[in-house]
Structure 1
Amino acid sequence: MSTVRRWIPNQHGAWAMLAVPYLAGVLTGSPTWLQLPLFLAWLLGYCAVFHAEQWVRLRRASRNPRAAARHRRPALVFATATLALGLPLLVAVPWLLVAAAFMAPFLAVNVLHARRNRERALVNGLAAVVPACGMLLVAHRAGGGTLAEGLAPALACLLYFAGTVPYVKTMIRERRSEAYRRGSVAHHAAALVAAALLDPWLAVPFACYLARAAVLPGRGLKVAVVGAVEIGCSVLLLGFLVALHG
């Protein structure tokens, strides 16, 4: 069990960001067999990148060589598994190369921040959000949908998950920062307007997101509670996207 914990990335908030846009893409289209191995390759790829970034970061940030070394094997295993599953998918569906090319610059930003030991930087978090939400378009297209059909749900995911980056900081690492709180509330207010323009019904969940961004910071909530609230918010978004676009 301890080995499993070392291999599975401990960035708990990332799992909702990996799963919700992808599931929204599947459920707002026509589910096909292709989406299953594609989703598995997506998760394996995330695990490979996580360990590779930790290896890059700790080689410079830690004086203990073992700290970086323990990420080398998981990175290689997950990368090999991703390639074994992903290469046949690329052969069967060549347009996935376009999606991979789109994600590459954002991955480069994440690797650069890992090398500088600045993974918690706001820009780094926002860079990770974009390809995760872009996977909605990939999953939707894999089910026979069009990019035009998936654009509104993908933008709604981008508005929500981009907002989680500053909001979670106001609840944990930047909980004493008034500037972060004001910035988070400002983003959520703008996101509410933008989401309502995408679909008036989206004003309902985004009003809830604005309320939690304005009310919850400073109340001393435990990390587990913060995480549970975000899981509920993610499921709420998924439910609305499926109901509106499914």
Structure 2
Amino acid sequence: MRIALSVEYIGNKYFGWQQQNHSSTNTVQYFVDKSLSKIADHKIKTICSGRTDTGVNALNQIVHFDTTSKRSDKNWIDGANSNLPDDIRVKRIYRVDNDFHARFLATKRTYKYFINTNIKSTIFNNAYTWVVGDKLSFSSMQLSMKYLKGVHDFSSFRSSGCQASNPVRNVSDVSLVKNKGVIVFSITANAFLYHMVRNIAGTLVDIGLKKIRPKDLHIIISKKNRKYCSKMAPPNALFLWRVSYPQKYKISYNTESILL
């Protein structure tokens, strides 16, 4: 029997999602697998939709696992959450066909990055935003959005250590909105390169600060070289927001933001 879950977590205490080796105990996956194994009475190993990095958050990380244990949806969710740290939570459960795969069947992934222009915002907002001050030109940042959309080689925005064999990604949607001093950068693509969103966010801030022009984003993409993009943005303001699948799997979401 195959089960999928929607999991949310605050990433600041963890070395990303993936458990790197058997001795690695400070990853989100370690705690999720440990909790589910206790409920199932056998070893569980989850497979995720996308491996978030150290410090990155998730509102809807989709994972799947196989089990022979029969439990109600409520018992799976309540049992898992009772054994998880307070900053990791199972939100929803989906009974899926055995051909479902959280990673390989994902059609789109959406990330949101929160840029805070309000230097007097609360410490709670500061914890999950990148506080850069009020000198950003929102209009300049908006002008650069058009250069991100479409199929591009995003080599300029991947960090060393990226294991992807193909740097081409299809960005189907991008947006930039401002609410109460927080600029929310949203990007949807078929997949992402290592540190891609944070590298783009850092470049957008430099555009907002007018260190570079909006059209320079197009030039940076065309260079296909990491040295041309800006300093990488910090991880605490990045959220894996949602992951899309073929309709037949009926993966639905609650994407209410805790911010703003």
- TM-score, normalised to structure 1, is 0.29
Structure with more helix by fraction: 1
Structure with more strand by fraction: 2
- TM-score, normalised to structure 2, is 0.27
